[in-house]
A = this chain, B = another copy of it.
Amino acid sequence: MAEEKLTTRSEDFSEWYNQIVLKAEMADYAPVRGCMVVRPYGWALWENIVSALDKEFKATGHVNAAFPTLIPMSFFEKEKEHVEGFAPELAVVTHGGGEKLEEPLVVRPTSETIIGYMYSKWVKSWRDLPILIVQWGSVLRWEMRTKLFLRTSEFYWHEGHTAHATKDEALEEMYRILDIYENFAVNEAALPVIKGRKSDTEKFAGAQITTSIECMMQDKRALQSGTSHYFGQNFAKAFDIQYLDTNNTLQFCETTSWAISSRIIGAIIMTHGDDQGLVLPPRLAPIQAVIVPIYKNDAEKSKVMETANRIFAELKAAGIRLKMDDRDNVSSGFKFNDWEMRGVPVRVEIGPRDVEKGSVALARRDRPGKEGKSFVPQTNLAAAVSGLLVEIQSALLARATAFRDANIHEPKDYEELKQVVQDGWAFSYWCGSKECEARVKEDTKATTRNIPLDQPKGEARCIVCGEKAAQKVYFAKAY
């Protein structure tokens, strides 16, 4: 319950975020270092995210499966860069069934290794390819500083792992998934993400190419919201994933992996939330509309509830995800604040005068106060609410896109770059060297986010060193 006033974004953005997560009952701190509990309201949002993505994966020929949570430590050592990347973050099981284990097991931080091992058993011929498997579950990477949804030791995600006969097919898969991620982010979560390729410094441990979608939060920091990797034959060689091609010759597979995690809930909160609390995009909101009946006495109550129940049935039948707030122990004002905190897109208010006039008041969450309130007839209310949900969905995307575009700068020189990344993103030519990337990071704490796939023609000079540069990159401070 939202009794105390929320810290505002301008007062303390980080504290505002923490309070929303707790007050909207999205998640809670667990009594295990670095871990969170995802509460029912947060999990209902995650279920809608899962369902939207799962549908797209299945429509593109992917299937789900489940691999063990525990992975033998030796598996990690088979791919050099992979083990270097993950070794410091591992949780290690040393005892099982009352005895010390001969070989320690790791709680999976990601599953390329064990899935690669199984693929080497399953793949014999080109007819077995491609394998397109997705695993939904949680993974664990040791964290000392917890930030709910954004940085926790255990987090929830899917991990796609695919094996292909050729490089072209594997690259095509990597980009197909990146497109699915972009479509999901833009059309379901109303997040105006930018897709591109990560620099070598920022890519996944063991990948040849990492691509990502990146999103700007309201504090102008970037949040990497999904990644899709191409491994070449790195993992195929480490785990001996080979197939007989049509000429009966043994070939190594080409593999990919990709993921969106529960972090994206953090992106949704920090992109759309306001000083009243959470603002959820209608397509993913667990509750799309809440009905608040308003009355002062029993006579009014019976009249109002009759109408409210009828409207509830009508909206429900229209497929709107709906809640009736008929609590008797709190005021209407309390209810308004409570559902605003939880980010429910539309509030339907019904009082005695509405019953008489055959109308209701609709309040849209993305525009709090009078500006977002309208009075509409009860007739055809389901169509009106459905239409409003569509309108809110696109208004959220438009607002976030405008905000993003207003805060991406193209600095004329390095001095200006150092300024703009303090409170925005820089989009600049970069020579591609690790040295220039490191210098920006040292001078400003900003890192390269990604190199967008669509690049301007021609070349120019690196904003850092002045050498020739063929590509533009986003520099920003990131979560």
**A143 vs chain B, min Cβ distance (A):** 8
Tell me if A97 and B142 are in contact (CB < 8 A): yes
Residues from chain B with a CB closer than 8 A to the CB of A107 are: 69-70, 93, 107
| CB atoms of A93 and B96 under 8 A apart | no
Cβ of A66 < 8 Å from any Cβ of B? yes
A456 at the interface (CB under 8 A from B): no
**Chain B residue, CB-CB nearest to A127:** B329
Task: Say yes or no: is A437 at the interface (Cβ < 8 Å to chain B).
Answer: no
Is A144 an interface residue when CB atoms closer than 8 A count as contact?
A: yes
Question: In the complex, which of the residues A40, A68, A87, A91 has the most CB atoms of chain B within 10 Å of its own CB atom?
Answer: A68
Within 8 Å by CB of A39, from B39, B42, B65, lies B65
The contact of A70 among B28, B72, B122, B154, by CB within 8 Å, is B154
| A88 with B92: CB separation less than 8 A | no
**A30 at interface (Cβ–Cβ under 8 A)?**
yes
- Residues of chain A in range 1-57 having any CB-CB distance to chain B below 8 Å: 28, 30-33, 35-40, 42-44, 46-47
Which of B65, B122, B154 makes the CB contact (< 8 A) with A38? Answer: B65
Contact residue among B28, B97, B118, B137 (Cβ-Cβ distance under 8 Å from A137): B137
Tell me the complex Cα distance, A352–B66, Å. 41
Q: Across the interface, do B72 and A43 meet the contact criterion of CB distance under 8 Å?
A: no
Among B87, B96, B137, B329, point to the contact of A91 (Cβ < 8 A): B96
Q: How far is the CA of A93 from the CA of B108 in the complex (A)?
A: 12
A105 proximity list for chain B (CB < 8 A): 32, 91
**For the complex, is A414 an interface residue (Cβ under 8 Å from B)?**
no
A131-143 interface code vs B (CB 8 A; 1 in, 0 out): 0010001101011
Could you tell me the distance between the alpha carbons of A91 and B94 in the complex, rounded to whole angstroms?
8
With A and B bound together, what is the CA distance between A95 and B40 in angstroms?
Answer: 31
Interface membership of A121, Cβ < 8 A? yes
Distance between A85 CB and nearest chain B CB, rounded to angstroms:
14
Which residues of B have CB within 8 Å of A90? 95-98
Q: Could you say which residues of chain B place their CB within 8 Å of the CB of A42?
A: 65
Q: Which residues of B contact A127 (CB under 8 A)?
A: 329
| A66 near B38: Cβ-Cβ < 8 Å | yes
Known: A87-B98, A92-B95, A92-B96. A68 touches B37 (CB 8 A): yes
Residue in B closest to A35 when the chains form the complex, CB atoms: B68
The 5 residue pairs across chains A and B that have the minimum distance between CB atoms: A97-B142, A40-B63, A35-B68, A92-B95, A38-B66
The 27 listed contacts between A and B (C-beta, < 8 Å) are A30-B67, A31-B114, A32-B70, A32-B71, A33-B96, A35-B68, A35-B70, A37-B65, A40-B133, A43-B64, A47-B64, A66-B156, A69-B69, A69-B140, A70-B107, A88-B97, A89-B97, A90-B95, A91-B93, A91-B97, A91-B105, A92-B93, A92-B94, A93-B94, A93-B107, A97-B144, A107-B107
